[in-house]
Chain A
Amino acid sequence: AQTVTQSQPEMSVQEAETVTLSCTYDTSESDYYLFWYKQPPSRQMILVIRQEAYKQQNATENRFSVNFQKAAKSFSLKISDSQLGDAAMYFCAYRSARYGGATNKLIFGTGTLLAVQP
């Protein structure tokens, strides 16, 4: 079974600085997707960024980028120029890309609570 591990329960960053959130996962599959979701105090789950495992190039979305290391099964999120609105819980998630199987659910890590200091 696949698992997702986030080893940092809490992180803190100064406004305008850069922070990296860690995520590792375990799977025997070769094709899958990885995601970072943001959950602000409103509890809504918001997709931040996604990565297809077959792509070597790291995904970027404005101030958000990932460092995807497939061999190491590592998928970290870098937030540049941190803003107060980035304060939230961040979840790393895995989804199988295997077609026809029932395993198309998201598997989440335990989350990292990010505080942004003014």
Chain B
Amino acid sequence: EPEVTQTPSHQVTQMGQEVILRCVPISNHLYFYWYRQILGQKVEFLVSFYNNEISEKSEIFDDQFSVERPDGSNFTLKIRSTKLEDSAMYFCASRTGWSSLEAFFGQGTRLTVV
């Protein structure tokens, strides 16, 4: 069964360093998302991406964040200069099209900023 794949599963980084979280969405999907879950808290929307551009972003998604789909398969989230409060689980998700109901989630990347 097709699945969304995220790498790495766990990333530890020094404060101020840049990190890139990688996702391979399901191949025929058109809508891509990043969500964040700080430990013990709810899942929060970061950004949605469609047709090679950001379609919506939340207040959390400031200038330190960027997304890219460089090669038509990978979907990356970059945090330019990590802060302690960026420590969280980051989930990538994808959907086939507008009318499709289900968003498929990856297994998440746990980011720890020290």
Contacts and interface: CB of A to CB of B under 8 A. Distances in A.
B89 A43 contact: yes
A108 interface: yes
Interface string B76-114: 000000000000010101010010011101011010000
A91 interface: yes
Interface residues of B, number: 25
A11 interface: no
Closest 9 CB pairs of A and B: A45-B105, A102-B56, A105-B45, A108-B43, A110-B42, A44-B107, A108-B42, A102-B55, A43-B108
Provide the main secondary structure of the chain A interface: loop
Contacts of A50: 101-102
B96 to A, nearest CB: 12
Contacts, number: 55
Contacts of A45: 43, 91, 93, 105, 108
Contact of A44 (B31, B44, B55, B105): B105
Pick the most buried of B31, B42, B91, B98: most chain A CB atoms within 10 A of its CB: B42
Interface of B: 31, 33, 35, 37, 41-45, 48, 55-56, 58, 89, 91, 93, 95, 98, 101-103, 105, 107-108, 110
Given A44-B107, A91-B43, A105-B56, A99 B35 contact: no
B50 to A, nearest CB: 8
B101 A91 contact: no
Nearest to B41: A110
Nearest to A113: B40
Interface of A: 33, 37, 42-47, 50, 52, 91, 93, 99, 102-111
Nearest to B37: A43
A47 B102 contact: yes
Nearest to B58: A105
A102 B102 CA distance: 17
A72 to B, nearest CB: 22
A103 B56 CA distance: 7
A69 to B, nearest CB: 20
Contact of B98 (A43, A104, A107, A111): A104
B107 A111 contact: no
